[in-house]
Structure 1
Amino acid sequence: MQRCSSWLNKILLGSSLLFAAAATIAPVAQAGDYPHPYQQHRSMTDGSAWWRRDVYGGAAHIIIDLSEQRAYFYKGDQLAGISPISTGVAGNRTPTGSFRVSEKELFHRSNLYGHYVDRAGFVRKSSVDVRVHKRPAGTVFRGASMDFFMRINGAVSMHAGKVTGRPESHGCIRLPWHMAKIFYENAPMGTKVTVRH
């Protein structure tokens, strides 16, 4: 009986040490710390994407920081959310300056970049630029998906897309799908967008 009791004490002590160790290495803030009702997809694993539902009032203002590859969403002077982004690569850099959201479209497709697909819908040539790549016979152009599209300057827009935290686009500002949705729903037409180095 004493041997059983000793064994049980060791298990309980080991469990409490594991919980204590986990508590000390747990990150201070994760994306899940700021839940949003529409946030159904995982944020970046480093916890850099978050949204606070408790921030109300004040004009929306989005700041795009090219050097940090981050987008900051303000409501008045209060920070409501942060998202990782991917902006334009060399030769197609995202322009800096002060802009406004001039067009919004929930499900937008690019008229320049996408894929050539056959009549059955199979991709025959991917990642094409219609100005550069010739369309193979028997195919049609299908523009790249740009959900939660918000135009800010000519062809440059904010939209959902592949995000790695480094420049990768043709000039647009890509956000993870769930963060693009949140930004879209909280940025009315005319929202100020500041793009800085």
Structure 2
Amino acid sequence: MKFRLATGMSILGLLLSCGTALAGTLEGPLQIIVSKDLQELKIYDGDVVVATSHVSTGKAGHSTPTGIFSILEKKRTHFSNLYDSAPMPFMQRLTWSGIALHASNSVPSYPASHGCVRLPNDFAKTLFSVTRRGGHVLITDREIAPQEIVHAALFKPVVVVPDTPILSEAGLRPGLMEAGDKAVEVAMTDPKPEVLTPIVQKTEQDPIRILITRRGDREMMIDLQTLLTSLGYDAGVADGLHGKQTVIAIRAFQLAEGLNEDGMVTPELLTAVYAKAGKGAPPNGQILVRQKFKPLVEAAITIRNPEIALGTHFLLARDVDSDKGKADWFGMSVDNQLPSATMKRLGITTEADATQPDALTKTLDRLDIPADTRLRISELMGEGASLSISDTGLGPETGDGTDFITVTRKVQKADAGAVEGGKKSKKKKKSSVTVIN
């Protein structure tokens, strides 16, 4: 704790002095959290607050989305192409659809932007100098703070014996990267950039980003196709599509096993195929890893008590020591109300409550990660590794050139209407992605 506090104080001194010349020597991941209810941004080094600033988020009709984001692009000079070429200096982009942190001459103590997070000029300049692409930014409806989390499910680095093949050399199925099929109007004047050189000195390797979520239909179908082919029922290329060849293979299996020969994918079919292949029960979760915005690992895991929501959580690893095989994890739970249709589709009957002090620990208790998968990810562990947990998988904002982005929905109170523009409204309001102001 003494080392962490000393580091925090040095960063605080840097921020207060706006000493950008010193920024190149700063190492170590910072955690940026924007609280919409307080209109405030805090920077954490571990669980220590090292700097605070007031901000102005999106006004009514242009609400700033909440969730887990990372810095995708940094530009010292930028201008809006939707709002009279308004200057947006020290812009740090959080989504390709148009949300960013940036400096402004107008930062009132209330929501006033068109969706971005406005920062005072001096603070925005200094923040720009001490962040790097890939650094995480959380935007929340209420104030939250990271706390140190100790749990056996969390990853620690491992020391690989020289001249011994490591699992990271093995090829695993790449992750799905779909940015959605709907066009989104953005306020950016430039195309998506190539790789940018970070302002802050790089550590030994770029940190990995881990996502734990529920297994989707595509992943289930790929596994089904693979297992059917291994059992002698040629399902064709394992592409996750319920095509003609896959239907033929399913019907052949159903006929041989005395099942209803309809070619449909059902829980009963999955259970039967997994049992026949000697693979136990079908996995219901998945873990994905990215590094430098590119997919590295995708593997199946098991989520116990799947009828209970995982919730939305974020953890960041500090003081990662490969020699000692240790890492300090700091985590927090984020409010996120799932739509009733999503809960029904995922078979969730019990919602998550991020306000419970043990919400994150209880979720970690329910994760069973295979030993080989855990070993491979542990081999990739380094300073600043992060772990996101979410029920909803890869959303439309997670795509090519991003980390895992989770957009959350505000938790609605049953006995109160949502407040918008100072007036109560009974209509539920959910976070949406808006354009840069």
Normalising by the residue count of structure 2, what TM-score does the alignment of the two structures yield? 0.27
Count of aligned pairs between the two proteins: 123
CA distance in 1, matches of 2:139, 2:18: 28
Q: In 2 relative to 1, CA 71–37 (structure 1 residues): closer, same or farther, beyond 3 Å?
A: closer
What SS is found at the alignment partner of 1:112? Answer: coil
Within a 5 Å distance, the mapping from 1:99-178 to structure 2 comes to 99-114=69-84, 143-153=85-95, 154-161=97-104, 162-178=106-122
CA contact (8 A) 2:90 2:103 kept: yes
Pick one of 17, 39, 45 that aligns with 1:36: 17
Question: In the TM superposition, what is the alpha-carbon distance from 1:89 to its structure 2 partner?
Answer: 0.4
CA contact (8 A) 2:39 2:110 kept: yes
1:32-75 Cα distance to aligned partner (Å, 9 max, x none): 9x841449xxxxxxxxxxxxx9xx75312110000000001123
CA contact (8 A) 1:69 1:167 kept: yes
With a CA cutoff of 8 Å and minimum separation of 6, indicate the structure with the bigger relative contact order. 1
Unaligned runs of 5+ in 2: 1-12, 142-437
CA distance in 2, matches of 1:38, 1:57: 15
Normalising by the residue count of structure 1, what TM-score does the alignment of the two structures yield? 0.58
CA distance in 1, matches of 2:18, 2:30: 19
Pick one of 21, 39, 42 that aligns with 1:72: 42
Greater fraction strand? 1
1:1-26 Cα distance to aligned partner (Å, 9 max, x none): xxxxxxxxxxxxxxxxxxxxxxxxxx
CA distance in 1, matches of 2:47, 2:81: 37
CA distance in 2, matches of 1:171, 1:187: 21
What SS is found at the alignment partner of 1:68? Answer: coil
Question: In the TM superposition, what is the alpha-carbon distance from 1:165 to its structure 2 partner?
Answer: 1.3
- The residue number in structure 2 matching 1:139 is none
Amino acid at match of 2:48: Q
Unaligned runs of 5+ in 1: 1-31, 40-52, 115-142
Q: In 2 relative to 1, CA 57–75 (structure 1 residues): closer, same or farther, beyond 3 Å?
A: farther
CA contact (8 A) 1:57 1:76 kept: no
Q: How large is the RMSD of aligned CA atoms in angstroms?
A: 2.3
Q: In 2 relative to 1, CA 178–38 (structure 1 residues): closer, same or farther, beyond 3 Å?
A: farther
Pick one of 75, 82, 86 that aligns with 2:52: 82
CA contact (8 A) 2:18 2:122 kept: no
Within a 5 Å distance, the mapping from 1:38-57 to structure 2 comes to 38=19
What SS is found at the alignment partner of 1:145? Answer: coil
Say yes or no: does 1:179 pair with 2:123. yes
What SS is found at the alignment partner of 1:147? Answer: coil
CA contact (8 A) 1:57 1:75 kept: no
1:115-147 Cα distance to aligned partner (Å, 9 max, x none): xxxxxxxxxxxxxxxxxxxxxxxxxxxx11000
